[in-house]
Structures are given as C-alpha cells and as structure tokens.
C-alpha cells in the first residue's frame, strides 16, 4: 500500500488510457506523456501499461511496505525521508515508512512516479486512468491509501535511464479545416513562435500568438470528431492543442494536427514556454 500524503498539483492516476469508447462520448484519457509513463514502468519492471502517478509537483507519497519506486518525465527536486536518495530516471528500493516528496519541475510539466506492481485501483472501461473531463476513474485526495498490484516477477536490470529530450519545435500536419482560414494562415502558424498560456491543462494546451490566425469563412462549424493533437482555433484566433483528456467532438475548425512524436513535447511544455510549429516531413 502507498499513502497520498499531499496530492499536490494536477496529480492523478494514469495508465495508457481507454481507447475505443469515443463512439459513446468517452475519451481515451491516459498519461499525457506516454513515453515517460512507459519509462517509469520499465525502470521498476512493470509492463508499460501499468497504472502510475502523474503529477505537476508538490506531491508527497509515503511507502507503507518495502517497494521499488522510479520517477521519470519532468525533472523535479526529489527528497526522501527515511530511505535512500531517489533520483529521476533511476529505480530505488525504499523501506516501509519512507516519505517521497516530489517538488515543482525544473524543466517540463508532468512527472511520473511508478511503483513495482503498479497501482491496483478499480479498472473502469479497461483503464485505471482519471479522466478530468469525463470524471471517470478514481480522483485522488490527501490521505488516500492505494493498493499496489502483485509483483510482476520480472528482473530490474537498469540502474539509470536517460530522459528522452523534448523539443520546442513541434511538427504538424495540415488539418481537415485548413480551408476555413486565410491563405497566409499556415505560414503564420509555422513562422511565428507561440507561448503556452497559463490555462493549459490535461484537456488542451492553450497557445498565444502575436498575430492571431484569421478565418476566411464565417459562421459556425457543426461539431466534428477530435483526435489527440488536433489544433483547434476559436474565434479569437489563438490555437488550442488537444491533449489526453480532450473531448471526442468539437465545433472549432481544426487547422492542423500535431504529429504523434511531438505530442510529448506539447504535453511537457509548461506555461510560458515558447513553441514553434513546423510542417512535418514524412
């Protein structure tokens, strides 16, 4: 068992999500940075889809039984009371009673904390993920005690693993409603930097451009299906990149879609980060 001593900022249980339910209005959810989740799980010998903790900092966790813990993703300061030091990207065996304090990230936005065996919270529609938009799953609170799953019985053969670098250059593909914008909109989008706004969350990353994108067509668009990475543009001309908890439909035109390898870089971009879009080459 582990205890959530302090929930911290935007802390939730996440695995690889619940795909296949969009036709019923239920989004995939899951870890915003799937690569970082997979790394944390590999470090403790879990399968890549085991449930772990996703947090943006200020998170305190107490280990109630000896277990192996690993941290990946954003790089926060980590302090351990009652146990050996724990670094980012390195598994560590902690004794019962050890308190792990995960601070605010120095770089990046989302940190993943995995325990050997994974978190054994209830499975809902094939996933243990907490969907912040659909309110599906187990929402964490201070004082919660969570069960750990069975030991996977696999070897732990990695002492330390390098973190995958993120980039501020985001590859995009033309979206289905590019024709709703002025002829120079794509050039505007791919030549001027944008800044991640403070309203960013697991639903979407709100961006700010010095020169907002302009439409060539007025009127309302009927709601259409949305995918991870869709770049919607509301009437103010400021893009929103859909992230893990995005709705399954939306009524703003989608000018572009973030190429899959760049999703993690958007998900890890903290408010104030400058991003630059470029046309993906395939």
Per residue in 219-232, pLDDT (tens digit) is 888 899 999 999 99
Average pLDDT on 267-274 reads 96
Residue 266: φ, ψ to 5°: -70, -45
**pLDDT tens-digit readout, 158-182:** 777 877 788 899 999 999 999 999 9
Residue 245's Cα: distance from chain center in Å?
A: 9
**pLDDT tens-digit readout, 118-132:** 999 999 999 999 999
What would the two tokens of residue 13 be? 């249980």
190: pLDDT confidence band, cut at 50, 70 and 90? very high
Per-residue model confidence (pLDDT) at position 259: 96
Average pLDDT on 1-22 reads 96
Q: Strand locations in 136-203, DSSP E?
A: 145-146, 169-174, 194-196
Q: Would you say 11 and 52 are in contact if contact means Cβ atoms under 8 Å apart?
A: no
What would the two tokens of residue 119 be? 């978190």
Rounded Cα–Cα distance for residues 19 and 93 (Å): 33
Nearest alpha carbon to residue 189 among 267, 253, 136: 253
Nearest alpha carbon to residue 169 among 279, 34, 278: 278
Q: How many residues does the chain have?
A: 282
Burial level of 18, CB count in 10 A (0-12/13-18/19+)?
buried
Per-residue model confidence (pLDDT) at position 165: 80
**pLDDT tens-digit readout, 70-119:** 999 998 999 999 888 888 999 999 999 999 999 999 889 999 999 999 99
Per-residue model confidence (pLDDT) at position 250: 92
Per-residue model confidence (pLDDT) at position 268: 96
Q: List the chain domain ranges.
A: 2-146, 169-279
Average pLDDT on 133-139 reads 94
Q: CATH for 169-279?
A: 2.40.100.10
Has residue 271 got a pLDDT over 90? yes
Per-residue model confidence (pLDDT) at position 217: 86
pTM exceeding 0.85: yes
Per-residue model confidence (pLDDT) at position 86: 87
């Amino acid at each position: 068992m582990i205890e959530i001593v302090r929930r911290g900022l935007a802390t939730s249980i996440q695995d690889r999500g619940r795909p296949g339910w969009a036709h019923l209005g239920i989004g995939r959810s899951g870890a915003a940075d799937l690569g970082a989740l997979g790394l944390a799980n590999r470090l403790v010998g879990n399968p890549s889809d085991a449930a772990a903790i996703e947090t943006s900092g200020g998170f305190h966790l107490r280990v109630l039984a000896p277990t192996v813990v690993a941290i990946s993703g954003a790089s926060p300061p980590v302090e351990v009371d009652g146990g050996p030091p724990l670094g980012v990207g390195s598994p560590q065996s902690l004794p019962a009673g050890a308190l792990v304090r995960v601070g605010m990230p120095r770089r990046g936005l989302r940190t993943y904390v995995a325990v050997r065996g994974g978190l054994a919270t209830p499975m809902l529609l094939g996933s243990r993920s907490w969907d912040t938009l659909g309110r599906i799953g187990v929402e964490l609170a201070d004082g919660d005690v969570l069960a750990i799953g069975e030991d996977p019985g696999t070897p732990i053969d990695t002492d330390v693993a390098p973190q995958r670098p993120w980039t501020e250059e985001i590859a995009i593909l033309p979206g289905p409603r590019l024709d709703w914008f002025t002829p120079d909109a794509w050039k505007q989008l791919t030549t001027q930097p944008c800044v991640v706004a403070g309203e960013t969350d697991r639903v979407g990353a709100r961006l700010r451009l010095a020169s907002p994108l302009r439409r060539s067509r007025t009127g309302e668009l009927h709601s259409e299906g949305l995918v991870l990475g869709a770049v919607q543009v509301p009437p103010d001309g400021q893009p929103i990149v859909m992230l893990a908890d995005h709705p399954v439909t939306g009524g703003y035109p989608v000018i572009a879609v973030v190429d899959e390898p760049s999703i993690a870089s958007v998900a890890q971009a903290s408010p104030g980060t400058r991003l630059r879009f470029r046309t993906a080459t395939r």
